[in-house]
Amino acid sequence: MTERIAMAKAINLGLRRAMERDSKVMIMGEDVGPLGGVFRVTDSLQKDFGDSRVVDTPLAESGIIGTAIGLAYAGYRPVCEIQFDGFIFPAFDQITTQLAKARYRSGGRVKFPIVIRVPYGGGIGAVEHHSESPEALFAHTAGLRVMSPATPSDAFAMIQQAIASPDPILFFEPKARYWDKEDVDLQADDAALGLIPAPDGAVPGVAGLERARVLTSGTEVTIAAYGPTVKTALSAARVAGEEGRSIEVIDLRSISPLDIDTVATSVTKTGRLVVVHEAPTFFGAGAELAAAVTEKCFYSMQAPVLRVGGFHTPYPPANIEEEYLPSLDRVLDAVDATLAY
């Protein structure tokens, strides 16, 4: 059954399906119970699954993640909600010092299937600490996977993939896209969702978590984006196409690991790459992608990699955030700039 739904609802239904599939999946966070979360992503889940599986926690992000680590030791699959991106930093020590290293410390004998959901990014007119893009901090930390869906369909599938993964995952949800709608196949079987059925009926495995997706085919410029900026990249490709330019758009989907091969294949064809993300470009995910693609595609490239993103400043007040965020015009300027070489 295909239904036109928003991304927030798609994640809600993905969580529901994962909880129905495995009784060890549980949700925990601030206001995730009767309220359904600030963005209502967990709406009705506590009513349907009970308060032992959808747990309202104290306002203590470090305690949420620390408790989740203990639950994972006991065989559970916790899904933790961090209410806003800027609130994750009290849990930074638990995530990077404990969670990221725990499986390595055990020599791989103990799995830590913990998903940390983080509404992130700007564009909603929020106050300070509510519009951050801290994904590069976690992508830099070995032992963590970092993912970000750009569409409702991907959000529905990727949250289930993340929960099925044996590794801890930071699942960054672009809050400005929570209300974007598209048709989602809610009856897709596990194979269609990227899940590998287990022969004993246990929790399915997962494949292809890190795979990027080519959204539009082109020959002159590759634009790589993820999360909230994929929509902007597609708009840039459409406008450039109206001007006779051929743009290929790639949704990275995974930030750590990065699917370098898919991007490199595209750049070998187009000879040019523009990377777009909301986070500051300084030491950002785009810098890593630029370096890796340059190494692999040096002899095919006709211009240096250009990056469009946030500036190296704290996130600005809401009344000027549009000057900070990578806009359609800024992406088109980068396309023109790379074609000028």
Other CB atoms within a 10 A radius of the CB of residue 238 amount to: 13
Tokens of 144: 């963590």
Strand 273-280 vs strand 306-310: parallel, antiparallel, or unpaired? parallel
DSSP letters along 158-210, please? HHHHHHH-SS-EEEEEEGGGTT-EEEEETT--TTTTTEE--TTSSS-EE--TT
Residue 277 annotated to the active site: no
Burial of 329 by CB count in 10 Å (0-12 exposed, 13-18 middle, 19+ buried)?
A: exposed
Residues in the chain: 341
- How far, in Å, are 196, 198, 271 from residue 148 at the CA level? 21, 26, 26
Tokens of 198: 């287990």
Report whether 249 contacts 221 (CB < 8 A).
Answer: no
Tokens of 21: 């599939």
Strand 254-256 vs strand 145-147: parallel, antiparallel, or unpaired? antiparallel
| Amino acid identity for residue 283 in this structure | F
Backbone angles phi, psi at 159, to 5 degrees: -65, -35
**What is the spatial order of strands in the sheet that 213-216 belongs to?**
213-216, 247-251, 221-225, 273-280, 306-310
| List 129, 130, 277, 312, catalytic entry | 130
Separation of alpha carbons 248 and 233, rounded Å: 9
Q: Tell me the H-state helices in 74-151.
A: 92-93, 100-105, 135-139
| Residues labelled as active-site residues | 130
